[in-house]
């Protein structure tokens, strides 16, 4: 990060001390109009942030000096920007709806992308229209997606978000946890003869997924014999060899590529459960939405670039306001898994403490991301957002129209959406409380400081297109922040150590030598060992 610009920003932060959004808005009648923009069907109002023109100007300059243009081009050009794994990062190729080629090592990957999309479509139509049946001739009614992390959260979030567009004759279940309860409880809800298991794993080695997949296969074999496996399983993976060893027929294997990161993979074959539920046409609309935001990200100038604006605002709070967390608050029940999905996308990407040169960073990086749908959150944790001692910047996401005929409900929902942001920003003063006749002993309790920042994101309606654009917006925001922090957003070494240790400890629990551990770990293993 350019030290001169950081110093200038630090001075501007100091100068902000004591300023309040109440005054800032009063002094600048054009502010709301100036700090807003539209892209790919989404409207962003970012006027309720603790910023002004000089701050924005310096933040844009900082991003420019972090080579915003260069990184965008490197991504689109297929360079190995995931340098620790020596891989390009090309999730944008999965939803490239234009005719331009996207190349990896000089080879256009688009024909392969289209080939897999066509195979998915053929398969999805077969299941949806009943030509692909279970081993006993029954139609498929239940889809069980077995995967974890990026092979679970994306499809789960989107199938929930687009439920209104789904085939209600099909039900989709997600099994991720290695805790046998997850699979067992799912099996209680389904008829195996009518079930299709999708084994989703980029590596096809992830222990949780493989354990669940083997148990599911055992169930199918026990119920209908070995030959049934071919009718009741499909696989999505980059590891075609391991899939073949598992016993899934080649025409039921949908590949993808090592240039697709797990947490950025839902528009690859990893999204097969989505296509099965909403159909190929709506899946295409979802890709169109992603593509619209991708184009905006690659083509819009910095000052009018929505992912870049969200990124610099988030950076401003982490770096200069010591914000350690960030809330995503969707005002739409269909988006109830949206914060959980971006918790992985953001925290697995930018939860890093070593920069691209291998040096320990000297500044904070990605915040803790969390959230729940409004208005439920209002009756849970908003107390802290309004009157707690920590600053939590928040994004409020809403839609002008509801998908369900519920005028009153939607009006109330959106009134809350607007009211919460107003209250966070402007609060309630002592004078206002006195004028309202508030008991004097309660004044300090009922005062709201305000000055708490938020963004409003609004689209007309929740559709596959608007959802695709929204997901792409946050994906690119994550990438832009990694440019500022000079970190690789696309590896995840931080999850490796725990996996290795667990494998070793499992052997000890099964009766092998305990091995060398600290006294506490040794004691834990000994205590549990007796039960296995």
Question: Least CB distance from residue 503 to ligand F6P, whole Å?
Answer: 14
> Segment contacting ligand F6P (CB under 6 A): 124-132, 200-208, 369-377, 393-401?
200-208
- How far is it, in rounded angstroms, from Cα 397 to Cα 417? 8
Stretch that binds ligand F6P, among 26-34, 160-168, 198-206, 461-469 (CB under 6 A): 198-206
**Paired residues of 107 in beta bridges:** 104
**Residues 309-338 contacting ligand F6P, CB under 6 A:** none
- Asked whether the beta carbons of 238 and 246 are under 8 A apart, the reply is no
Could you tell me the two tokens for 421?
Answer: 């942001």
Burial 467-493 (b: 16+ CB within 10 A, else e): bbbbbbbbbbbbbbbbbbbbbbbbbbe
Under rule CB under 6 A, residue 307 binds ligand F6P: no
Cis link prior to 44 (omega < 30° from 0)? no
CB of 88 to ligand F6P, least distance (A): 17
> Residue 63 in contact with residue 483, Cβ under 8 Å?
yes
Q: How far is the CB of 202 from ligand F6P (least distance, A)?
A: 4
- What is the rounded distance in angstroms from the CA atom of residue 264 to the CA atom of residue 234? 21
Active-site residue (options: 160, 193, 208, 348): 348
Q: Site for ligand F6P (CB under 6 A): how many residues?
A: 14
Q: Is 348 a catalytic residue?
A: yes
Using the rule CB under 6 A, give the single segment among 136-144, 203-211, 216-224, 448-456 that binds ligand F6P: 203-211
Backbone dihedral region for residue 106 (phi beyond 0: left; psi -120 to 50: alpha; all else: beta): left
* Binding test (CB under 6 A) with ligand F6P, winner from 142, 176, 201, 455: 201
121 is catalytic: no
Is residue 206 a contact residue for ligand F6P (CB under 6 A)?
yes
| Binding of residue 150 to ligand F6P (CB under 6 A) | yes
Binders of ligand F6P among residues 235 to 254 (CB under 6 A) are none
Distances (CA, A) of 397 to 339, 448, 481, 490: 11, 23, 20, 26
Task: Tell whether omega for the bond before 375 is within 30 degrees of 0, i.e. cis.
Answer: yes
- Rounded least distance, CB 35 to ligand F6P, Å: 35
Using an 8 Å Cβ cutoff, are 53 and 303 in contact?
no
84 binds ligand F6P, rule: CB under 6 A: no
Based on the shown chain and the rule CB under 6 A, indicate whether residue 451 belongs to the binding site for ligand F6P.
Answer: no
Q: What is the DSSP string of 190-233?
A: S-GGGEEEEEE-SSS--HHHHHHHHHHHHHHHHHH-GGGHHHHE
Which ranges of 233-331 would DSSP assign to H, the alpha helix? 240-246, 272-299, 306-320
The count of other CB atoms within 10 Å of the CB of residue 532 is 9
CB of 208 to ligand F6P, least distance (A): 8
Nearer to ligand F6P, 151 or 486 (CB): 151
Q: What phi and psi values does residue 121 have, to the nearest 5 degrees?
A: -60, -45
| Cα–Cα distances in angstroms (integers) from residue 435 to residues 26, 440, 449, in the given order | 21, 11, 17
Q: Which one among 151, 159, 482, 488 touches ligand F6P, defined by CB under 6 A?
A: 151
Identity of the residue, 142 or 176, whose beta carbon is nearer to ligand F6P in the bound complex: 176
- According to CB under 6 A, which one of 116, 148, 253, 480 is a site residue for ligand F6P? 148
**Candidate residues 207, 222, 495, 528; the one interacting with ligand F6P per rule CB under 6 A:** 495
CB of 166 to ligand F6P, least distance (A): 23
Window 255-294: contact mask with ligand F6P (x via CB under 6 A): -------xx-------------------------------
Whole-number minimum distance, CB 491 to ligand F6P, in Å?
9
DSSP-derived secondary structure letter, 140: P
> Is 499 a catalytic site residue?
yes
Residues at the contact surface with ligand F6P, assessed by CB under 6 A: 148-151, 201-203, 206, 209, 262-263, 348, 492, 495
Residues catalogued as catalytic = 348, 379, 499
């Amino acid at each position: 990060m350019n030290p001169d610009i950081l110093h200038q920003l630090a001075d501007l932060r100091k100068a902000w001390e004591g300023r309040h959004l109440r005054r800032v808005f009063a002094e600048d009648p054009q502010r709301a109009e100036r700090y807003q923009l539209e892209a790919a069907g989404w409207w962003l109002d970012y006027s309720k942030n603790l910023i002004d023109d000089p701050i924005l100007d310096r933040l844009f300059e900082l991003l420019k000096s972090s080579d915003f243009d260069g990184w965008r081009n490197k991504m689109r050009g297929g360079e190995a920007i995931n340098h620790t794994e020596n891989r390009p990062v090309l999730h944008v190729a999965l939803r490239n709806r234009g005719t331009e080629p996207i190349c990896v090592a000089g080879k256009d990957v688009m024909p392969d992308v289209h080939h897999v999309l066509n195979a998915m479509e053929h398969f999805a139509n077969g299941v949806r229209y009943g030509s692909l049946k279970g081993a006993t001739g029954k139609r498929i009614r239940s889809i069980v997606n077995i995967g974890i992390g990026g092979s679970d959260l994306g499809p789960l979030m989107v199938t929930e978000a687009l439920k209104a567009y789904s085939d209600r004759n099909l039900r989709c279940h997600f099994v991720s946890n290695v805790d046998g309860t997850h699979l067992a409880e799912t099996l209680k809800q389904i008829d195996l003869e009518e079930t299709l298991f999708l084994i989703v794993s980029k590596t096809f080695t992830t222990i949780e997924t493989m354990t669940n997949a083997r148990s599911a296969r055992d169930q199918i074999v026990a119920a209908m014999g070995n030959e049934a496996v071919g009718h009741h399983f499909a696989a999505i993976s980059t590891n075609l060899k391991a899939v073949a060893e598992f016993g899934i027929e080649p025409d039921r294997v949908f590949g993808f590529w090592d240039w697709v990161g797990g947490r950025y993979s839902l528009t690859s074959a990893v999204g097969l459960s989505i296509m099965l539920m909403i159909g190929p046409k709506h899946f295409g609309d979802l890709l169109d939405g992603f593509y619209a935001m991708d184009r905006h990200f690659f083509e819009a100038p910095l000052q009018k670039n929505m992912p870049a604006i969200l990124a610099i605002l988030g950076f401003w709070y982490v770096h200069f306001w010591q914000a350690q967390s960030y809330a995503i608050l969707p005002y739409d029940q269909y988006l109830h898994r949206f914060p959980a999905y971006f918790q992985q996308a953001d925290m697995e990407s930018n939860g890093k403490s070593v920069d691209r040169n291998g040096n320990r960073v000297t500044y904070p990086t990605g915040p803790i991301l969390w959230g729940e749908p409004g208005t439920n959150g209002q009756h849970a944790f908003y107390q802290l957002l309004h009157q707690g001692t920590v600053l939590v910047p928040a994004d409020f996401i809403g839609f002008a129209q509801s998908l369900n005929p519920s005028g009153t409900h939607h009006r109330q929902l959106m009134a809350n959406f607007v009211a919460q942001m107003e209250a966070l920003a402007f609060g309630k003063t002592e004078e206002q409380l006195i004028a309202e006749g508030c008991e004097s002993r309660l004044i300090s309790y009922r005062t709201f400081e305000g000055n708490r920042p938020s963004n409003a994101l609004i689209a007309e309606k929740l559709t596959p297109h608007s959802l695709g654009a929204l997901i792409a917006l946050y994906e690119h925001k994550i990438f832009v922040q990694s440019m500022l922090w000079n970190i690789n957003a696309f590896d995840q070494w931080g999850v490796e150590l725990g996996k290795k240790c667990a494998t070793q400890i499992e052997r000890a629990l099964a009766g092998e030598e305990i091995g060398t551990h600290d006294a506490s770990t040794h004691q834990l293993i000994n205590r549990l060992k007796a039960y296995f």
